[in-house]
Amino acid sequence: MKKIFLILILFFHFSNTSVFSKNNLYEKIDLFGEVLENIQKDYVDDVDQSDMMDSAINGVLQSLDPYSAYMSPELFKEMQTDTRGEFGGLGIEIGMEAGVVKVISPIDDTPAAKAGIKAGDYIVKIGNEQVQGKSLLEAVKLMRGPVGTSIELTVRRKKVKKPLEFKIERKIIEVQSVSSKIIGEEKNLGYIRLKSFNENSDKQFLKSVKEFEKKSKIKGYVFDLRNNPGGLLTQAINITDFFLEDGEIVSTKGRKVSETRKFFARKGDEIKGKPIVVLINNGSASASEIFAGALKDHKRAIILGENSYGKGSVQSIIPLRNGGGMRLTISKYYLPSGKSISEVGVTPDIFIEEEGDDFTINTDKDNQLNYAIKLFNS
């Protein structure tokens, strides 16, 4: 019990004492201790106190926002996955919404995307495990496993009455973040699909742009950020900077002075003012929203598609003395207009919802891309 009270004191150490008096604070600690004692004494099953305290710690963090979470030493070790473009799993970016695991976006050409998982799906079951009540990182752990093994996901999808089941084989996911081609009836539009913002995306993106610019026929560009879950802030800034002559790209605001910063464009538009259409959907998040939002605010591009996800915050991974770690939101993104992306996202200038059961990004069934092409001919 001493360990429990010590942890509780640490929990409440960060409370605002102007709101909670010391008496109220101690009352809450006493109440929590009483709840734990009753669980230990009367709950129908035996309870591991250590596991219960891990859940309590995680509960405190998840009460802050969907992205803050606690990682046990075992989980922290497993989660040492970086953004260098290669990781094991199914190929989906997930988040939490009202205690439920939600698909932010499936990554192109990965097992999840090929199986039919869509942005906005709610994962309710992983294998035989109910997801309700689990943390985001616990859900990620359940989905990971040896390469070549399969797992079943049960999802709920908007406008679909029955739950959908998908059997997906785990693979090593290698994210090639940029692909490009010439599109349009007259073959005069540059199309660049950006799947993520990893450490080499800006170089790949700029290479594609420069190759297009060598072709004198190119009269405009379509940048496709649909189902792009984001990535590195520096990459979002670098790629946005390619198309702005000046002005603010994004700002971050946090409690610490070091987390409150503004980022500005440097002179030089790589495509010399040619028109741009940016495609977004509910799976466009984080760095994607910075890119689309900044170009929209500067009236440098037409944003087309569906409202973006609304992931406008920065998380820091903080190691803990027990070998575990915590993911903590330390700042939020703000667009040049001063608007926050968090929970709001970027609203397209032209709202076009994906249509048809056979809708597939970057094919002749892609009504959003087809509409974007028509804009250049109108």
Tell me phi and psi for residue 289, to 5 degrees.
-75, -30
8 token code pair: 């509780």
Are residues 292 and 264 in contact, defined by beta-carbon separation less than 8 angstroms? Answer: no
d(CA 61, CA 66): 9
- What is the 3 state secondary structure string of the chain? CHHHHHHHHHHHCCCCCCCCCHHHHHHHHHHHHHHHHHHHHHCCCCCCHHHHHHHHHHHHHHCCCCCCEEECHHHHHHCCCCCCCEEEECCEEEEEECCEEEEEEECCCCHHHHHCCCCCCEEEEECCEECCCCCHHHHHHHHCCCCCCEEEEEEECCCCCCCEEEEEECEEEECCCEEEEEECCCCCEEEEEECCECCCHHHHHHHHHHHHHCCCCCCEEEEECCCCCCECHHHHHHHHHCCCCCCEEEEEEECCHHHCEEEECCCCCCCCCCCEEEEECCCCCCHHHHHHHHHHHCCCCEEEECCCCCCCEEEEEEECCCCCEEEEEEEEEECCCCCECCCCCCCCCEECCCCCCCCCCCCCCCHHHHHHHHHHHC
| Cβ neighbours of residue 321 closer than 8 Å, sequence gap 6 or more | none
**Catalytic amino acids?**
286, 297, 311
If we measure between CA atoms, which residue out of 247, 224, 222 comes closest to residue 237?
Answer: 247
218 close to 274: Cβ distance less than 8 angstroms = yes
Q: Which two tokens stand for residue 150?
A: 């399969």
Q: Residue 261: CB partners within 8 Å, gap ≥ 6?
A: 251, 252
